[in-house]
Structure 1
């Protein structure tokens, strides 16, 4: 997704791609999903079937909002659109003001496209089975919760690690009659 917004009277082109989450981690050494989760912007609720997760900063407690995440994300979107821009501090120094309250509504659709992933396999409710339904941020966090991943886990694990862990958890939960079991004393006695 690409768009141009106005910051301090300057036109700034922004772009989000499938690599946005990886770029964020590479640049800032933090996981974007974990940062959004920490903000309280994302919560493991139950979205309506087939709907994208909504991220509503209007209802967020702004006293707990870490604006550094917003600065970093806007810079990352700008850097993706124009690889020639300077590092974050230098780039931000180019503005007399950076009105976050005006910028956030402008980038909400980009944040939602970054956070919402389509056609990634998710658990469909049956143990150990997956379907090709849409995976939203809310369903991802619900899967993390079901797999007993903690907030701390989300801070230190990559998204790929989370998906691998969830898949392994689903496989362990799957009842499989062909699984090898350990022999017990009764088995030896009847042998």
Structure 2
């Protein structure tokens, strides 16, 4: 998955691939799960107001930028530097030639971090989960009756 976003008049490519966790760990010496899992936990906790009963019955969920933006407002464990590191890693996945984060972010006079994150993060989350719909993938549970014979 790849997306080009215009930032400060420059076309910047972002990509989410299987190499994302490796690039993140190699550059920031932190396993991506220590960042992503608390983030996902808080995002999922804030979905109650966004996900309707109809959405659950149909087994579909469209993560729109406005929904993601609303969900991100409820995230308190994530630091700004974490968001910047995630975005830089996604850019590095798309273009191996970009410089280290300090140099790369310094190339921009303006970098609306949260606006860019709202556009780029859905790709990241989609790359972490199977694209199969949950509906129909879990076999129905069978009811097992207990035997009363002794």
TM norm structure 1: 0.52
The whole-number CA distance in structure 2 between the counterparts of 1:2 and 1:92 is 20
Answering whether residue 74 of structure 2 is matched by residue 61 of structure 1, we say yes
Using CA pairs under 8 Å that are at least 6 residues apart, name the structure with larger relative contact order, 1 or 2.
Answer: 2
1:127-162, CA deviations, whole angstroms, 9 ceiling, x for partnerless residues?
A: xxxxxxxxxxxxxxxxxxxxxxxxxxxxxxxxxxxx
CA RMSD in angstroms, aligned pairs only? 3.1
Match in the other structure for 1:13? 13
Q: 1:37 deviation in Å?
A: 2.7
The whole-number CA distance in structure 2 between the counterparts of 1:75 and 1:103 is 11
Q: 1:114 deviation in Å?
A: 2.8
Taking the TM superposition and a 5 Å limit, the aligned residue runs for 1:86-165 are 86-118=99-131
Match in the other structure for 1:41? 43
Q: 1:104 deviation in Å?
A: 1.9
Taking structure 1 as reference, are residues 123 and 66 closer, same or farther at Cα in structure 2, changes over 3 Å only?
farther
Structure number with greater Rg is 1
1:67-102, CA deviations, whole angstroms, 9 ceiling, x for partnerless residues?
A: 212111111111111111100111011111210232
The whole-number CA distance in structure 1 between the counterparts of 2:22 and 2:113 is 24
Task: Verify the 8 A CA contact 2:35 2:78 in the aligned structure 1.
Answer: no
Q: 1:5 deviation in Å?
A: 0.3
Task: Verify the 8 A CA contact 1:17 1:114 in the aligned structure 2.
Answer: yes
| Structure 2: gaps (5+ residues) | 142-150
Answering whether residue 115 of structure 2 is matched by residue 83 of structure 1, we say no
Aligned structure 1 segments of 4 or more residues deviating by more than 4 angstroms: 47-55, 122-126
For the residue of structure 2 that corresponds to 1:41, the secondary structure is helix
The whole-number CA distance in structure 2 between the counterparts of 1:42 and 1:36 is 12
| Structure 1: gaps (5+ residues) | 127-191
The whole-number CA distance in structure 1 between the counterparts of 2:97 and 2:139 is 44
For the residue of structure 1 that corresponds to 2:30, the secondary structure is coil
1:38-93, CA deviations, whole angstroms, 9 ceiling, x for partnerless residues?
A: 332355x9x95865796834233356541212111111111111111100111011
Aligned length: 123
For the residue of structure 1 that corresponds to 2:17, the secondary structure is coil
